[in-house]
């Protein structure tokens, strides 16, 4: 039955592989000075999967944690959206396998390839499904990028890691938080800045400086738009959870949005850049910090170019 329902986030989850890779290992491989990576990116370590690990297993760990945190039965999930750029196979999609691994019998399941802004696209789409269909939606953003980087290409080798993050959306006005406003955008004129060409397996970053500038532009523009939509001043934001692409990128965005640096999540330090997974990973890791009345701004930009922003309002109890 379709209609109009409230929608709120009722569960958070995350997962990372066991192996933590510190900068010293990569700096030695690339002949970089000690501390070079952290100075340029804000990253000290990242997590990489083992040889036998697969995307859906990592995604299932985060999804299971979110379901447990929401304290719901798997049978209550009506839809699974998997935001990933590194599925287990090009065909078939990975979301049905993820749903199977989580015991989500009969739930719809679809992959969403939105690159680094994939979670924001999935969040907006999932919120719409909840509001019109009245069914719970599980969103998982997960990537295994360690298998897609060229270890000899400095631009990508120093940044990317593997991780998964998840949220559960429910037709309820009594969850932890709800979506206040959102903005999604794209700019295909910069389509080839970051790519994995058809038939190939390794990522190429063609122009890091241009990508940096365009990521700052898109994240700032979308952030301003959602604040304007909600009639919210920058000083009302209690938490800024940007895509963890590079600390210099999101610090520039925070500055242009006139946000205090103290409100910015910095999970990039320990977890690196896991593309679409960084925002839900950050939300799950930082959930003990959120309190009633808090406004949380999310922004992202990545390959495509795709980008977006969303504003969350925490309604009540702390979600820890």
User: Is residue 124 classed exposed, middle or buried when 0-12, 13-18 and 19+ CB atoms within 10 A define those classes?
Assistant: middle
Which residues make Cβ contacts (< 8 Å) with residue 277, sequence separation at least 6? Answer: 14, 119, 141, 142, 143, 163, 164, 165
The neighbour count for residue 2, using CB atoms within 10 Å, is 8
Helices (H), ranges, the chain: 23-30, 36-41, 55-70, 95-101, 118-133, 154-157, 208-229, 247-256, 268-271, 278-285
Which residues make Cβ contacts (< 8 Å) with residue 124, sequence separation at least 6? Answer: 179, 182, 184, 308, 310
User: How far apart, in whole angstroms, are the C-alpha atoms of residue 38 and residue 1?
Assistant: 52
Active site residue 116: yes
Give bridge partners of residue 307 from the DSSP assignment.
185, 301
Of 116, 178, 239, 306, the active-site residue reads 116
In this structure, are residues 130 and 155 in contact, taking their beta carbons and an 8 Å threshold?
A: no
CA distances from 15 to 18, 21, 47, 114, 140 (A): 9, 16, 10, 20, 11
Of 23, 143, 273, 306, the active-site residue reads 273
Q: Which residue matches tokens 């970089």?
A: 32
Active site residue 273: yes
Of 177, 239, 243, 246, the active-site residue reads 243
Give the DSSP H/E element, type plus range, for residue 182. strand 177-186
User: How far apart, in whole angstroms, are the C-alpha atoms of residue 300 and residue 278?
Assistant: 10
Instruction: Fill in the DSSP letter of residue 110.
Output: E
Angle subtended at Cα 233 by Cα 228 and Cα 236, rounded to the nearest 5 degrees:
130
How do beta strands 136-144 and 77-83 pair? parallel
Active site residue 54: no
Residues identified as active-site: 116, 243, 273
């Amino acid at each position: 039955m379709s209609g109009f329902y409230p929608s709120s986030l009722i569960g958070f989850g995350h997962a990372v592989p066991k192996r933590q890779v510190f900068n010293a290992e990569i700096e030695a491989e690339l002949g970089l000075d000690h501390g070079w990576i952290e100075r340029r990116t804000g990253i000290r370590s990242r997590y990489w999967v083992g040889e036998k690990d697969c995307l859906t297993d990592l995604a299932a760990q985060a999804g299971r944690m979110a379901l447990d945190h929401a304290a719901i039965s798997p049978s209550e999930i009506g839809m699974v959206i998997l935001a990933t750029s590194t599925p287990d196979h090009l065909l078939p999609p990975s979301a049905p396998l993820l749903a199977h691994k989580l015991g989500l019998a009969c739930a719809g399941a679809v992959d969403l390839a939105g690159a680094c802004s994939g979670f924001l696209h999935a969040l907006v789409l999932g919120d719409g499904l909840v509001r019109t269909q009245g069914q719970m939606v599980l969103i998982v953003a997960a990537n295994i990028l360690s298998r897609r980087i060229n270890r000899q290409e400095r631009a990508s080798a120093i940044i990317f890691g593997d991780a998964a993050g998840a949220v559960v959306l429910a037709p309820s006005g009594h969850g932890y938080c709800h979506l206040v406003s959102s903005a999604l955008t794209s700019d295909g004129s910069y389509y080839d800045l970051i790519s994995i060409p058809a038939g190939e397996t390794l990522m190429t970053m063609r122009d890091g400086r241009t990508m940096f500038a365009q990521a700052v532009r898109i994240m700032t523009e979308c952030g301003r738009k959602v604040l304007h939509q909600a009639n919210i001043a920058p000083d009302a934001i209690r938490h800024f959870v940007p895509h963890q692409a590079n600390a210099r990128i999101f610090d520039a965005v925070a500055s242009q949005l006139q946000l205090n640096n103290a409100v910015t999540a910095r999970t990039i330090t320990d977890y690196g850049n896991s593309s679409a997974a960084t925002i839900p990973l950050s939300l799950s890791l930082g959930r003990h910090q959120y309190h009633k009345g808090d406004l949380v701004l999310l922004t992202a930009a990545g390959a495509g170019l795709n980008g977006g922003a969303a504003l969350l309002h925490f309604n009540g109890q702390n979600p820890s």
